[in-house]
Amino acid sequence: MLTREAALLLISLSGWTLFVSILLYQPFLFLASFFLQTFFATYILLASRRLRSLDVEGLKVERTVEPQRVGDKTLLKVRLHVWFDSEQRLFVRVVDKPPFGTRIVERPSNPEGIIGAGESLESSYTLEVDPSISLARFRKVILLIHDPLKLCYDARELEVASDIIVPVGEQLVGAAYTKLPAPWIRPPMGLGYRGLVGYDDEFSGIKPYELGDRVRDIHWIRYAQQVDEEELVAKKYVKKGEVTLHIVVDCSSSINTGENAALLTDISILIRRLCQTAEEEGNPVQFWLLNPSLSLDEKISPRRVFSRIAIEQYIARVFPSQGREEEQVVEEFSRTLTGSSMVVFVVNPPSQNTGIVEAMINACRMVGARYIICVPDVASYVSRLEGEVSRLLQLDRQFKDDWLSRFSEPGSVIEIGKGYAIDVVKEAMRRGVEWGLG
């Protein structure tokens, strides 16, 4: 490709040669202009040919993204490291496409330079993330390989995919709550009975005001009566027929399955879609993350998690961890669970927390709550199915079958195949509703 500089140079020289030859003809002026135009045109021809024939197999790009919080803004500091595993040197310009939902606030520093023969290029820029975005998905990096005079270039695209879950600070969560329009968290009214939908709210008492409660639900009269305690009090409502969706995720090391954490990605998609479906139906979601690395407050969410940002915050906490979960989670789970609850277990047995999951399933059975167990089809996440891997997969399958056979309720087990998480959600919800009707 011609650069802007080269195109303007050729246009200007052509115009000048025409002007000199037609209006102000002087042989020496004409020949000088002719020489320059011929030189630059030939140079561009030869240089572009050379650039096309370059072997750039050794071109490598590494991207690191560092999230930062500045005031109420979420910024991503992106660093690109470009190098060329060759003795040959190239002059390159790095162009990174900002992901959806971000905008550049600080232009790339040092985006061009020499690479190769031990030299590398470090470029960095800053993006501001839209508050509604919680996942920044970076894709290709374009390298423009220039000739020495930078009159033409050859563009090479390198796939450098990186998905960044944007961490959300408490301030932003609070801000997002206050921005929500009131009807958004209400269930649809007057639509008749639907599997997961209630009819109306009923006042059931008071409770301490929590982050996320609507301001209109503050019980001002009661607050005025107990103003000495300086604690806000909110009205508590229960929906007739409301179904709380409990999402239990076993964050043991066994969820780290597949290339590029493919199972983790599918679990994220599954959770996101489950939350979306629950939100559409106007039902609350509660998270139970069996992750010993987290504190109790971090692993058990409040009953109502309806903010997309808060959901992403919990999804970000789904990561493989070592150790066994405490029994306290089961106790808390049993206390919270009601007959109208629906529980989705995401688990990859065998794991250190299989016993805990089993206890939670038993709690569901005791109160009569519906539950769906989502287990991955590990074979779909493994690319080579031969030798020792094949035998291990057989063992895994055998264990899973044995373990799942203990839960004989119809339709309580769903397999997650690689890349089919969205279909699983539809199936889970359908089975949940059918169960409810049954």
> Rule CB under 8 A: which residues touch another protein?
1-10, 12-14, 16-18, 20-21, 24-50, 88-91, 114, 146-152
CB 60 → another protein: shortest distance, Å? 20
Read off the amino acid at residue 321: S
Contact status, residue 142 vs residue 159, Cβ threshold 8 Å: no
Of residues 149 and 218, the one with the C-beta less far from another protein? 149
The residue (of 40 and 420) whose beta carbon lies closer to another protein is 40
CB of 271 to another protein, least distance (A): 41
Q: Look at the block and give the residue holding tokens 């397999």.
A: 415
Q: Return the number of the residue (33 or 257) whose C-beta is nearest another protein.
A: 33
Q: Closest approach of Cβ 42 to another protein, in Å?
A: 4
Dihedral angle at the C-alpha atoms of 280, 199, 307, 359, nearest 10 degrees? -90
Nearer to another protein, 86 or 265 (CB): 86
CB of 91 to another protein, least distance (A): 5
> Do residues 128 and 99 make contact, with C-beta atoms less than 8 angstroms apart?
no
Q: Least distance in Å: CB of 158 to another protein?
A: 19
Q: Two tokens at 319?
A: 């990561």
Closest CA to 60 of 147, 158, 154: 158
Residue among 8 and 189 whose Cβ is closer to another protein: 8
- Annotate 366-383 with b (16+ C-beta within 10 A) or e (fewer): eeebbbbbbbbbbebbbe
Contacts of 65 (CB under 8 A, 6+ apart): 76, 77, 78, 79, 136, 138, 162, 164
Nearer to another protein, 58 or 292 (CB): 58
Q: Which is nearer to another protein, 121 or 233 (CB)?
A: 121
Nearer to another protein, 43 or 223 (CB): 43
- Both tokens of 6, joined, read 């080269």
Chain position carrying tokens 């500045």: 70
Cβ-based nearer residue to another protein, 64 or 110 = 110
Q: What is the phi-psi region of residue 150: left when phi exceeds 0, alpha when psi lies from -120 to 50, beta otherwise?
A: left
d(CA 275, CA 196): 13
